[in-house]
């Protein structure tokens, strides 16, 4: 029987600003619109008025740069840098609010018009037996017990009545060869750490091919 535990993971805010300069103003305005009168954000830092002013300065400078006004590109770049800095500061504030309510963190971040960073979820490793590279061999993979540990391995070809002890390993995996093909073989392992010997694992079975 497998017992699954549910954990609440911290949601991380990201801006996902457009790479092209042209879309930055619209993205900044979207964030300000989403956060305005939003009950999640009582006192934004910096204030939304400050972000709006930085966005206005940027868009004015961008219009001048598009008109090819002399020196306008450099000014536009400086205004863009300021706007991005204000948005990053605002993202830090949103993250602080989300961290104060981890269970609702994702919804809080999304309500600010920001995105949530995708995190890969790796299922915990469980004891597993799979066919080896050659006929009659089986590869065993267990969950690591500790940073420093060794592992005892056994298999049974008679339904667990008798067990054959294999060579111990320092890694949580091993391969056994020479098993009878067409036979269902049972496997188990035992971890040894600095606290002593653990219990034998649950038994896994595999029809050897």
Q: What is the pLDDT of residues 151-205, one digit of tens each?
A: 999 999 999 999 999 999 999 999 999 999 999 999 999 999 999 999 999 999 9
d(Cα 159, Cα 41) in Å, to the nearest integer? 63
d(Cα 29, Cα 17) in Å, to the nearest integer? 12
Task: Count CB atoms within 10 A of the CB of residue 67.
Answer: 8
d(Cα 85, Cα 93) in Å, to the nearest integer? 13
The dihedral over CA atoms of 129, 135, 136, 137, expressed in degrees to the nearest 10, equals -40
Q: Identify the residue whose tokens are 């400086």.
A: 78
Positions of the chain with pLDDT under 50? 1-7
Supply the pLDDT for residue 1: 36
The DSSP element (H or E) to which 35 belongs, if any, is: helix 24-35
Tokens representing 49 are 């008025």
Helix (H, G, I), strand (E, B) or coil at 20: coil
Give the Cα-Cα-Cα angle 84, 26, 52 (nearest 5 degrees). 60
d(Cα 163, Cα 126) in Å, to the nearest integer? 21
d(Cα 172, Cα 170) in Å, to the nearest integer? 7
Supply the pLDDT for residue 118: 73
| Helix pair angle (24-35, 72-99), 10° resolution | 30
């Amino acid at each position: 029987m497998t017992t699954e535990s549910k954990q609440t993971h911290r949601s991380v805010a990201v801006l996902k600003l457009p790479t092209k300069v042209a879309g930055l103003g619209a993205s900044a305005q979207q964030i300000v619109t989403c956060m305005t009168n939003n009950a999640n954000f009582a006192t934004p830092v910096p204030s939304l008025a400050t972000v709006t002013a930085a966005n206005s300065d940027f868009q004015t400078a961008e219009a001048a740069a598009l008109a090819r006004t002399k020196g306008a590109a450099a000014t536009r770049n400086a205004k863009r840098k300021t706007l991005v800095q204000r948005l990053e500061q605002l993202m830090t504030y949103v993250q602080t609010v989300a961290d104060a309510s981890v269970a609702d963190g994702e919804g809080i971040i999304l309500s600010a018009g920001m995105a949530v960073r995708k995190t890969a979820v790796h299922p915990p490793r469980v004891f597993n037996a799979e066919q080896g590279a050659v006929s009659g061999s089986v590869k065993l993979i267990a969950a690591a017990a500790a940073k420093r540990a060794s592992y005892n391995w056994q298999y049974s070809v008679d339904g667990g009545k008798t067990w054959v002890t294999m060579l111990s390993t320092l890694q949580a995996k091993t391969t056994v060869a020479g098993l009878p093909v067409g036979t269902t073989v049972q496997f188990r392992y035992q971890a040894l750490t600095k606290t002593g010997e653990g219990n034998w694992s649950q038994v896994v079975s595999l029809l050897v091919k």
